[in-house]
Structure 1
Amino acid sequence: MTIINDILDFSKIEAGKLQFETLDFDLRGTVESTIELLAERAQSKRIELISIIYDDVPTLLRGDPGRLRQVITNLVVNGIKFTEKGEVVLRVTRESETNTQVTVCFTVTDTGIGIPPDALPYLFQAFSQADGSTTRKYGGTGLGLAISKQLVEMMGGQIGVESTLGQGSAFWFTAKFERQKQPVAAPPSKGILDAVRVLVLDDNETNRSILLHQTAALGMRPAAATNGTEALKLLRREAAGTDPFMLAILDMQMPGMDGLSLSRTIKADPVIAQTRLLLMTSLGPRNDTALLRAAGVGAFLVKPVKQAQLVDCLVSVLTATVLLHVLVAEDNTINQKVAVGLLEKFGCRAVAVANGCEVLQALELVHYDIIFMDCQLPDLDGYKTTMEIRQREASQSDGAPKRAYIIAMTSYAVNGAREKCLAAGMDDYISKPVQLYALEKVLLGAIDYLALAEASDTNGTILDPAALALLRQLRRPDKPDPVAELIDLFIQETPKRLREMRNAATQYDAEALAAAAHNLRGCAGSIGAVKMAGLCEKLEENAGRRALQISSRLLKEIETEFDRVRQALHLERTKSAQVA
C-alpha cells in the first residue's frame, strides 16, 4: 500500500495535480502525534525516538498539516529503517519570521549506517537509493525522498542532507507557514513550576539535554545526572543545604540502577525521601501502578512524551498530596513484611523497626505521620514507648514536627486492652493478624485526624473575624440583618455551585470549571471563608492550565471545607440572631 501511495503521489506531483490545503493547525500537535504513531516501530528495534520543538518556535500556524506530516514521516521512517542502534531525533527550530509568516526548520538525525559521499547528489531523484543492496536489504521504492523534495518546495522551502558513512545522517528541510490571525493563547504553565529545582536523570545525552531545555523553558531550575549513583550524590548534597531538589525526573531503562530501584532507594533515605518523583519509560508493557506507588513514584509517562503531557504531569506531581510516612514497630520479621506490604498497597511510605528503642531513634531522624505500635515489643514495650513519645512531643517548641498518630497492634484480644492502649496515649487499636479491611478503617481514621490537625494549624478560625466584622458594619436599625441574609444565601447557593464544578470536571470542561471556581472563590472570600477561597483559587489556576487530573482531589477538599464552614456559619447565624 505504501508503494502504491508513493507512486500515486509522485504521478500527481509530476502532473501538477497535487492539492494543498490551507488550514489553521497546531505545529506542536502535528509533530508530536506523528512521532507518537512511529514510536512502536522504533521501540521494536530498541532505538530511542525523540522529538523537540524549541520554545521560540511559533506553533499556531496556517498551512497543510497533512503534507507536513507526510514529509516528517518519510524522513523519520527512513531514519528508523537505517538505524540498528542508538537514536533518531527530530528537532524543530525557527529559521526566520515576519509579522505574517514563519519559516520553520525540521532536522532528522540518526545514528544509522550513513550514506556514501558519491550517492548524496542522487538521493532526491526518483527511484534512487544509495545502492542496489540497500533496496534488497531494506526495501522501498526510492520515491520517498523525491516526493519529500517536491512537497517541501511546494511549501516554499528547501531540503538537504549531511551524512558520514558508518556514523549516521542528518536530513533537514524548511517550510513557510502563515501565522494565525487570532491565535488562541496557550494556557500558562507559570506559577507552580516557577523556580522549582528539578533533577533530570537519563543516560541518553540527547534525552537529557532536551528535558533540560523543556524544564528550563517552563521556568524551572534543572540540573542533570547520567546515572543513579550520581543522582543520589546530587540529591543528598543539595538536601544538606537550603535549596534542595523538589522533583526528580527519572528514566526507567538505565544500566546499573534502573529508575524503579533508584526510586526505592530515594524513598528509603529520610534525608531525600521528600523528593517528588516522575518516571519516564519507553513504549511497551507498563509497570503495575501499585508497584510504582510502592516505590514512591508520583506519576509516570510513556516516551516519546508530548509537551502538554509533561506539563500536566509535572503540575500533578508537585501539587499531589504528600504520601503518608508510616513507621511500623514490630519485632517479628514476617509480620513486618506483611504490614509494610499492605501499607504500600494503600500508597503509604512504610519503614519497619524491631523494638521501642529503635522507634525513638527513628523519630529523632525523621517525622512519621502514623506509627503502628506493637504493644509487646522487646526491651521497651509499646505502652512505655508511646508514653515516651508523648512526653517528648509535649516538651517540643513551636515549629516542631506535629503529633504522630499512634495505632496499637496486639494479638491479645482481652477486655480492657483497647482502654489500656488509649490510656498510654495511643489513638487507635487494631488486632493481629492484621486484616486488609481493618487496616483500611484505621488508616481512614488517621487521615481524617491528620487532615483536621492540618486545618487547625493552618486556619484555626475557619472564618476570618475581620471579614465578619466588616459585614456586621452593614447592619442598620429596623432593617433585616445582612449578616444572617448573606449566611443563608451562601449556605443555600454553594451546593449548586459545587455541583456545577463537579459536572464541569467530569466533562473535562476546563473553562466552565475555572469560571465556577472563580465565582465560588469570590463568594467564599466575601463571607470570610479564607481557606475555602484559597482552595477555589488553586482549582481555578489548575483549570486554567488544563491540569484537570488533580481537580477531583481539590473538589473533594473544597466540599470538606464547605462542611466545616457551614457549621461555623450556623454558629455565627445563631450569634447574630441573639444580638438582634
Structure 2
Amino acid sequence: MGTIAARLSLDDLIDREKKLHLYFCVHDTGPGLTTEQIGRLFHRYSQATPKTHVTYGGSGLGLYICRELAEKQGGGVGVASHPDKGSAFAFWIETRAVATPEEAAAGLSGRLSKPLSISRAGSLEFSTTSHSSQDLSHRPGLESKRTINRHQGGFHILLVEDNLVNQRILTKQLETAQCTVTVANNGEEALSILEKSNISQNIEQPPHSTSDKDADLISTDLILMDIEMPVMDGLQCTRRTREFELAGQISRHLPIIAVTANVRQELKDAALAAGVDSVLSKPCTVSDVLVRVEEHLVESPRLR
C-alpha cells in the first residue's frame, strides 16, 4: 500500500518587513513520473497520461491554476519525481510574520465554538486579518450563508462534477452552509437523479401520501454544473434539462449555475444559450457560489 505525506515549513525572514516564504510539500510513493510527463503537467488542458482523465477525472487545469495562484502570491510550484519511486509536489507563497497571535486577530470579535482539528481546516475560507469585525459582517459570502441558514434545512443542491477532489471540497463547504448536496459524476448521472427528484413529473405520487417512497425522493432546488465532463458534458445536460421542463416532465424552472475554468467568452455564451442561468469562472470560492445560489433561490421572484 502506498503512502502520502504532507509537510509545511517556513524559511528565515527575507527582509526587515517581516516577509517570509511559506512552503507546502506533498510526497507520495506512487508510480512516479517521467521527465516527459513532468513537462506536460503545468500546461492548460494537459495531464500526465491519457489514462489520467479516465481514472481520476478532471480536465488538466488543476496544476495550471495552482501555478497561477502561487505566482500571483509571490511564489511558485515545483515537482520532483522518478518512475516507480513516487513524486513530490511543492508550492510556496510569500507572506509576512506578525508579532503575536493576539495582534493578528485584533479585529476579530468572535471565536470558534469548539476545537478545530487540522484535518478539517482545509474546508475553511481564509481572509486577511486586517478587516474589522464590522467589515467581516458585511462580506457577501457570509451574508449569503446567513440567508441560506434561515431557510428550513437550507437548500438542496445537485452538484454535477467529475473531479473527485472538487466534489469533496464543495460538498463539505456547502454542507457547512446548511445545504444538502447530491453528487453526480457527469451529465448522464444528473439526468438519472432528476428522474428520481421531487420535481419530476415522471414519478406517480399518490395524493397526501406519507409512504417511504415519498421520503426516498431526492429534493433538488438548484444544479451546480461543471461544463467539461466525460460521458455527457454540462451543456448537453443543461439542454436536456430544459427539454424536460418544456415537455412538462419537470414541474418548474430549475436554476442551473455553470462552473468552468475556461474563461473564453465563446464558451460562456454557449453555456447561456444552452439554458444555464449564470456562469461562474474557476477558481472560485464557496462564498462566490453561495452569492449566486442566493440570487437564484432567494431573490428570484419565481421562487419567493
**TM-score normalised to the size of structure 2?**
0.42
Higher RCO (C-alpha 8 Å, min separation 6):
2
**TM-score normalised to the size of structure 1?**
0.23
Between structure 1 and structure 2, the one with the greater Rg is 1
